Amino acid sequence: MLDNCFKPESGSRVGVPKIGILITDGKSQDDVVPPAESLRKAGVELFAIGVKNADENELQSIASEPHHTHVYNVADFNIMSSIVEGLTKIVCEQVEIQDKDIKQSKEQE
């Protein structure tokens, strides 16, 4: 994500909120902690959505805090629609918070 999505050549811009939403239906073959930490350190707020056989601990390792608003787990892809409204609301709220924080940081410079 960091290498492909949150770079200027991919459209990422300074002063713009950065949100990442990972959807997975299994367990990663790689260690998810270092890349997730790198994204968070780069200012990306991460949401993790597990479907079917997703590993709950892995989802929590990926997602930003607090986990109760950033980690979702659904039984199958058909049920994904049941979380869309709540997830959309939370993501929009987090974009507003990030935007406010970015603007305050610029004012303090």
Residue 40 is predicted with a pLDDT of 95
Residue 98 lies in a domain: yes
Residue 62 · residue 87 · CB < 8 Å: no
Tens digit of each residue's pLDDT (9 = 90 or more) over 65-100: 999 999 999 998 888 888 999 999 999 999 999 999
Mean predicted confidence (pLDDT) in 5-12: 87
73 within domain boundaries: yes
Q: Which residues are CB-contacts of 78 (< 8 A; sequence separation ≥ 6)?
A: none
For residue 84 the two structure tokens come to 């869309």
Is 17 part of a structural domain of the chain? yes
Return the amino acid letter for 22: L
Give domain status of residue 3, yes or no: no
> pLDDT tens digits for 37-57?
999 999 999 999 999 889 999
Q: What is the CATH number of the domain that holds 94?
A: 3.40.50.410
Q: What is the pTM of this model?
A: 0.86
The answer to whether residue 1 is domain-embedded is: no
Residue 2 in any domain: the answer is no
Residue 91 counted as domain residue: yes
Distance (Å, rounded) from C-alpha 18 to C-alpha 82?
Answer: 24
| Total tally of structural domains belonging to the chain | 1
Which pLDDT score, from 0 to 100, does residue 26 have? Answer: 84
- Does some domain include residue 23? yes
More confident residue, 27 or 95: 95
pLDDT, residue 96, reads 93
97: part of which helix (H) or strand (E)?
helix 81-108
Q: Which domain holds residue 41?
A: 8-108
109 or 97: which leads in pLDDT: 97
